[in-house]
Chains A and B, each alone.
Chain A
Amino acid sequence: MNQKIKKECQDLLKIKGRIRGVILQTDINYVLQRKGEEGVKRIEQGFKELGFPIDFKEIKAVGWYPLGWAMVFGVLALKFFNWPESDMVEFGKQAPKFSFLIRALAKYLLSPKVLLKASSKLWTKQVNIGKAELVEFDGQKKQAAVQIKGIEGHWIICDYIRGYLETIVALTLKDGEVKVEETKCVLKGDPYHQFKITWQ
């Protein structure tokens, strides 16, 4: 691992906040399906080189782990496998497909309204920092806005959430297209992140 990647990862590991293990597990499963066991072992090796010898098999879905680990996982996957940065959105998109939490919380998948109204609850089940809130909902125009406050700005977080929202809202529709756009971002000086969601 070159020094530039190492520095980037070490900075990410300083980011505050903890996430449920299920988020890490979904990322691991995504890499497993695209790159197999070898791909996952490669990333495990990367963590070891950073001074974190983690055995991914030991990660518990309901356990709490540093938010930085998920971000480092993403960075290592992109760098090691030469995936474009836009693939971080893909990470987020695929995550709900592996998440046991989503399956267990099927009662929230009844409609976009039910799901997005529960944003705050669903956020705190998975992340222990910041909060998510539905700030706009228009069923007729089929659009909504979700605000996320209290987390740091980093393109990885923004892209991941964008992808995640797209898939999870799509799960509430019979067959429909969902688009998610980040309309406010802490990286751009806004006080919070805000995502506009539209669906057909």
Chain B
Amino acid sequence: MLKKNLTKNELLTALQKSEEDLEDLESYINDLFNFAPFSLCATTHLGIIININLSFKELTGYTEIEIVGQNVSVLFPKNEWTRIKKEIYRKEVFRNRETNLLKKGQQKITVSLSSTSRKDLAGNKIGYSMAFYDITELKKLQEDLEKRVEERTEQLSKRLDELEKFRKVTIGRELRMSELKKEIRELKEKLKNC
């Protein structure tokens, strides 16, 4: 807080200090924004992209020239955007929603999407911040694992059926052998008594 009745020099010093602080803050925010290992984009309240970070560019292939000024809906398949839009505009915050994203060139990837609305000091919505990271490989791994588990389960099931059949046949044979042995014993007894 500035005290009253500052001299000109004091004012200039205070101004210079504020400018330096602003520089440091801008530098810090910029570094953090571009360091973030997940893709970030900020939009206006109408969904127009106004800011992207380095990870966003690397993930999607878009540059600032190409994507800033575009509606964020271009990043999503139409049917998915209709679904997500409702959630984004209705909820203050949502996290980790699995959805498809369209890279430059329309290649589809699976991402985990989180979004939060941004407000000014008066509480008016002024835009949205979105973060996503690529889970395509993770999904593929998950699907592969599920497929392998399914295949293995089927194999085990077949094996179990085979064993069951064998058990029935074996037990049946055992029973028959017991019966035959008993018959033989009875016949031997009869012969003895003849």
Contacts and interface: CB of A to CB of B under 8 A. Distances in A.
Given A100-B26, A106-B50, A167 B45 contact: no
B23 A171 contact: no
B116 interface: no
B126 A110 contact: yes
B46 A174 contact: yes
B50 A102 contact: yes
A140 interface: no
A100 B30 contact: yes
B26 A106 contact: no
Interface string B110-129: 00000000101000101100
Contacts of B19: 62-63
Contact of B50 (A60, A171, A174): A171
14 contacts: A61-B23, A62-B23, A63-B19, A94-B65, A97-B64, A100-B26, A100-B29, A106-B50, A110-B44, A110-B124, A171-B44, A172-B44, A174-B47, A174-B48
Contacts, number: 68
Specify the main secondary structure of chain B where it touches its partner.
mixed
A107 B30 contact: no
Top 10 closest A-B pairs, CB basis? A97-B68, A103-B51, A107-B120, A174-B46, A97-B64, A107-B126, A62-B22, A109-B44, A106-B127, A60-B23
Contact of B64 (A33, A63, A109, A171): A33
Given A61-B23, A61-B26, A106 B42 contact: yes
Q: How large is the interface on A (under 10, 10 to 19, 20 to 34, 35 or more residues)?
A: 20 to 34
A33 B46 contact: no
Given A33-B64, A110-B126, 10 more contacts: A30-B65, A33-B63, A60-B23, A60-B27, A63-B19, A103-B42, A106-B44, A109-B126, A109-B127, A171-B48
A40 B125 CA distance: 38
Q: How large is the interface on B (under 10, 10 to 19, 20 to 34, 35 or more residues)?
A: 20 to 34
Contact of A103 (B23, B27, B47, B50): B50
Interface of A: 29-30, 33, 60-63, 94, 96-98, 100, 102-103, 106-107, 109-110, 167, 170-175
Contacts of B126: 106-107, 109-110
A103 B90 CA distance: 23
B134 to A, nearest CB: 23
